[in-house]
């Protein structure tokens, strides 16, 4: 019998080898608040898709326009006319579905083209596609790491990586703590068949980045493998938008690059980029690749999104102008934006109830942002998370800053809020 009514985050916490901090983090903020306060921030409906300004279908408040800070479409490609045109051309040419998994007929010429392009994007030999970025992580780790192996995870890695490591042994180190990572590598030498350090490039909740240089050094020194998911760094960081790997110029030293087409590339799907041998192994071993359909023909638009990163670098410049403008404005208001190094800007409220209230007030002021709480982050680190896009205008950002000024003042009427906001 399924005891559904008893399900709680305690269950995640108690799962062997897993840590509630990373597990289910995408939903955690919503659900925690949903349970506590009702339904208002859970699964809002945008009537206008993914855009810098959207209309939300809110009960009693139809079609009001909001500045949207919830999308990871950092360069605004979801609405780029050329990307849309390429997606439509893909549908015209191939129909709307792939209709079979890659192993049994569902591998089309556009799949190969996307694989080749994403591999070349990272200056590597080969790539393969998965249905989602989540699967790219979970399936790859499941196929590679078994009970004689060890996965060494930064505690902040995405939920999909934790899931992928359920068939293997797991040790975690506190987020970006290089001494702890080194200690694990020292203490586990010669104890496992394979040891793989798995990190994110940009951490989606902390908004900061991995110390990739140091991690590469440690991994090489102690003879481990390195896998990195840079879902939030690609398109945003590095001179030509290749992400954290470019920022540190470590193209050759990350054994496995995983990622998603659902953020900067503005589509749906996941990828793994690595050497040909490893990709061939995964194509025959990763159950989710063998038994699950990947990219639909609209994904032909991904080819254009990848090209646009080189062809129209001004989107990245605009994004960073927006990031700097909003950060400076928030700093002037005295709010704490944590250690953000990416297009994700958190405002730390430090308390779940305050966080919920801040989010609600922002909505009242026409700003749609996400609240993040336990177990996505520890309770005392509750925060509002804002994702910026290149296509946000100054007017949008000024509306956000005005909203925060109002929210900050309104909430600082109470002492504990004062503390959180100063
Ligand atoms: N990795 C990270 C770091 C993410 O933030 C996400 C987004 N939810 C994913 C993987 C999963 O990507 P997708 O949404 O394509 O499944």
Task: Give the Å distance between the CA of 34 and the centre of ligand 1.
Answer: 22
Tell me the CB-side half-sphere exposure of residue 365, using CA atoms within 13 A: 22
pLDDT tens for 274-288 read 999 999 999 999 999
- With contact defined as beta carbons under 8 Å apart, do 314 and 297 qualify? no
Q: Which residues span the domain enclosing 289?
A: 82-311
* pLDDT of residue 153 exceeding 50: yes
Q: What is the pLDDT of residue 23?
A: 38
Residues with a known catalytic role: 204, 232, 263
76 lines ligand 1 (CB under 6 A): no
In a domain, 74, yes or no: no
Query: Which ligand 1 atom minimizes the distance to the CA of 268?
Result: 15
The arithmetic mean of pLDDT across residues 309-336, rounded, is 96
Query: Which ligand 1 atom minimizes the distance to the CA of 135?
Result: 16
pLDDT tens for 73-112 read 999 999 999 999 999 999 999 999 999 999 999 999 999 9
Q: What is the pLDDT of residue 37?
A: 45
In a domain, 196, yes or no: yes
In a domain, 9, yes or no: no
What band does 269 get if pLDDT is binned at 50, 70 and 90?
very high
Mean pLDDT of the chain: 88
The arithmetic mean of pLDDT across residues 63-68, rounded, is 89
Indicate if 403 and 278 belong to the same structural domain.
no
Task: Give the Å distance between the CA of 413 and the centre of ligand 1.
Answer: 38
Residue 53's nearest CA partner among 404, 406, 400, 408 is 400
- Interatomic CA distance for residues 201 and 233, integer angstroms: 6
In a domain, 188, yes or no: yes
252, 127, 267, 305: CA torsion to nearest 10: 60
Q: What is the pLDDT of residue 1?
A: 62
Provide the number of structural domains found in the chain: 2
Burial of 330: CB neighbours in 10 Å, binned 0-12, 13-18, 19+: buried
Indicate if 34 and 91 belong to the same structural domain.
no
Collapsed DSSP state (helix, strand, coil) of residue 246: helix
Task: State in Å, rounded, how far the first CA of the chain is from the last one.
Answer: 49
Sequential DSSP letters for 328-367: HHHHHHT---TT--SSEEEEE--SHHHHHHHHHHHHHTTE
Q: What is the pLDDT of residue 266?
A: 98
In a domain, 2, yes or no: no
Q: What is the pLDDT of residue 417?
A: 43
Q: What is the pLDDT of residue 309?
A: 98
Task: Give the Å distance between the CA of 221 and the centre of ligand 1.
Answer: 30
200 lines ligand 1 (CB under 6 A): yes
Task: Give the Å distance between the CA of 21 and the centre of ligand 1.
Answer: 16
Indicate if 113 and 52 belong to the same structural domain.
no
What band does 3 get if pLDDT is binned at 50, 70 and 90?
low
Q: What is the pLDDT of residue 43?
A: 59
The arithmetic mean of pLDDT across residues 371-395, rounded, is 87
Query: Which ligand 1 atom minimizes the distance to the CA of 202?
Result: 3
Indicate if 154 and 93 belong to the same structural domain.
yes
Indicate if 285 and 318 belong to the same structural domain.
no
């Amino acid at each position: 019998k399924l005891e559904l009514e008893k399900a709680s985050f305690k269950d995640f916490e108690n799962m062997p080898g897993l840590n509630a901090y990373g597990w289910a983090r995408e939903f955690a903020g919503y659900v925690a608040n949903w349970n506590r306060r009702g339904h208002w921030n859970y699964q809002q409906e945008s009537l206008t898709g993914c855009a810098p300004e959207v209309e939300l279908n809110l009960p009693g408040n139809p079609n009001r326009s909001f500045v949207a800070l919830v999308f990871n479409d950092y360069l605004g490609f979801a609405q780029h006319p050329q990307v849309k045109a390429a997606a439509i051309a893909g549908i015209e040419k191939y129909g709307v579905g792939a209709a079979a998994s890659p192993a049994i007929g569902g591998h089309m010429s556009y799949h190969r083209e996307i694989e080749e392009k994403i591999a070349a994007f990272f200056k590597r030999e080969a790539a393969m596609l998965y249905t989602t970025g989540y699967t790219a992580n979970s399936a790859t780790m499941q196929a590679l790491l078994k009970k004689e192996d060890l996965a060494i995870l930064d505690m902040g890695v995405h939920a999909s990586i934790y899931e992928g490591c359920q068939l293997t042994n797991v040790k975690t180190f506190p987020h970006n703590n290089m001494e702890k990572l080194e200690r694990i590598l020292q203490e586990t030498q010669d104890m496992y068949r394979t040891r793989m350090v798995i990190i994110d490039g940009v951490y989606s909740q902390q908004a900061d980045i991995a110390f990739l240089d140091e991690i590469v050094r440690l991994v090489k020194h102690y003879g481990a493998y390195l896998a990195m998911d840079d879902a939030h760094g690609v398109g945003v960081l590095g001179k030509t938008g290749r992400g954290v790997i470019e920022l540190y110029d470590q193209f050759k030293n990350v054994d496995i690059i995983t990622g998603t087409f659902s953020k900067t590339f503005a589509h749906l799907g996941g990828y793994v980029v690595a050497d040909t041998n490893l990709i061939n192994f995964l194509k025959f071993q990763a159950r989710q690749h063998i038994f699950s359909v990947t990219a639909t023909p609209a994904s032909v638009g991904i080819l254009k999104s990848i090209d646009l990163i080189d062809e129209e670098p001004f989107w990245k410049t605009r994004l960073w102008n927006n990031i700097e403008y909003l950060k400076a404005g928030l700093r002037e208001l005295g709010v704490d934006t944590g250690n953000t190094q990416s297009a994700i800007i958190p405002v730390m409220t430090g308390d779940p109830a305050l966080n919920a209230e801040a989010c609600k007030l922002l909505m009242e002021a026409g700003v749609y942002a996400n609240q993040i709480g336990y177990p996505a982050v520890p309770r005392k680190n509750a925060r509002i998370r804002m994702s910026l896009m290149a296509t946000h205008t100054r007017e949008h950002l000024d509306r956000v800053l005005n909203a925060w000024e109002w929210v900050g003042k309104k909430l600082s009427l109470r002492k504990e809020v004062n503390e959180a906001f100063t």
